[in-house]
Structure 1
Amino acid sequence: MAVLVFKTSVKKKDEIQLLRPSLNRLIEKKGCWNFDLEDCDNILRVESQRLKASVVSLLLQSNGFDCEELQ
């Protein structure tokens, strides 16, 4: 399982709720995702076997959020 880590502009729990259905559709059954809004970079972590970082970034950006993969 690969872990993808992103710096985002998501700042509120209601913004996470907005993204929840789309993020759930992206990952397979054994995958998971979570936000760390306590971190200064509002980190999104995604665990997935086959998901590409560009797909996650595009999803957030299409919903009006900044999203940059951290390496």
Structure 2
Amino acid sequence: MECRLCLYSVPVESSVSIFDDAHPLVQRIWTCCRLQIEKGNGLPDKICLSCVNNLEMISSFRNACLESVKTSKQIR
């Protein structure tokens, strides 16, 4: 199986469907990377666990930055 984001080949059990309702990955990918993901466009519909973890870290960092901006605006 090839990861849609990094294009590395990984075992199927080491991947997650980006269109799985349990994982809001399509929206998270858009929010963090501004990549529009469409189903059925011929590209793989799974990403590897490494990309999932990287996406989680980016998302957490982005959220922390947004919170610090809100906090600093309230202090001033």
* TM-score, with structure 2 as normaliser: 0.29
Q: Identify the structure with the greater helix proportion.
A: 2
Q: Decide which structure has the larger Cα Rg and report it.
A: 2
* TM-score, with structure 1 as normaliser: 0.30
